[in-house]
Amino acid sequence: MISAKTMAEPLFNRLALLGIGLIGSSIARVARERGDLARTIVANARTQATLDRVMELGIADECEIDPARAVQGADCVIFCAPVGAYAALAEAIGPHLAPGAIVSDVGSTKQSVIRDIGPHLPEGVHFVPAHPMAGTEFSGPDAGFAGLFKGRWCLLTPVPGTDQDAISRMRTFWERCGAMVSVMDAAHHDRVVAIVSHLPHLIAFTICGTADDLADETRQEVLQFAASGFRDFTRIAASDPTMWRDVFLNNREALLEMLARFTEDAQAMARAVRWGDAAYIEDKVLRGRKIRQALIDINQA
């Protein structure tokens, strides 16, 4: 069998990953495993302890705690830090980016990313924002794995006028990572992910907070006899707090819109329960089952 390393030349000579948590370390691992994404992988992190762990894991060729040094000579730079850190990072690296380099990211919000990164990029540097729709509740460089993106969607949200070759190269990059790729407008992206990702996380954090606020004896019983539904919420609620704080604050308009719509629907369900409207309740349950089956049918469950 021919290995990936002999099938295609690497897309990039030097790949700089600004942030090396779950997503960044997964990119590093798949790049290391395949060999056709980058010749050299450079990792950047906020602490030397994280970079020391990266070197122990052997998932990067070089480690740089200074982001400006990390991007020097890189023909691809991917922001993998929480989105709240993007503006400061972009300001720090902007003067050090190589002409013709492609800058991308993995953030869960896209309008804020374009707002925070775009103004700091010099002429001749191409910007292709991206959002791999993949993740777990774990974080840090040990959490990543090469198969994280396999069969998942990656959404590209380039602004009008972006170099088409840069978009094509980032599409190829994510396809080689195992992802399916779609291109959409940043504002549309933010409304879509508000309902399919951000709102479910907000609800999970809130439900677990409600359980934690119960009287001690009741809370212990909640934990001891937790059913699968509550356990699913706790898995989501175990996600990285810094990342999700930044996501909520940077997609607040779309998230609040979807929360308002959900609140109206929840109140309607409460009325149905209160007044014994069995048909309404059954209809909502059946619609939930249909959505679940649709996910199964397209291998997204």
Kindly report, residue by residue over 144-161, the tens digit of the pLDDT: 999 999 999 999 999 999
Q: How confident is the model at residue 1 (pLDDT cuts 50, 70, 90)?
A: very low
The tokens 């602490």 sit on which residue? 47
Residue range(s) in the chain whose domain bears CATH number 1.10.3660.10? 188-297
Contact predicate 102/77, CB 8 Å: yes
Residue range(s) in the chain whose domain bears CATH number 3.40.50.720? 4-184
- Its CATH class, for the domain covering 188-297, is mainly alpha
Mean pLDDT, range 12-24, rounded to an integer: 96
Please tell me the predicted confidence (pLDDT) of residue 2.
33
Strand order in the sheet with 130-132: 130-132, 153-156, 180-183
Please tell me the predicted confidence (pLDDT) of residue 117.
97
Q: How confident is the model at residue 4 (pLDDT cuts 50, 70, 90)?
A: very low
Specify the fold of 4-184.
Rossmann fold (3.40.50)
Please tell me the predicted confidence (pLDDT) of residue 6.
43
Summary mean pLDDT of the chain:
91
92: helix, coil or strand?
Answer: helix
Residue 173: pLDDT over 60 = yes
**Model confidence over 71-128: pLDDT tens digits?**
999 999 999 999 999 999 999 999 999 999 999 999 999 999 999 999 999 999 999 9
Q: Which two tokens stand for residue 255?
A: 């998230």
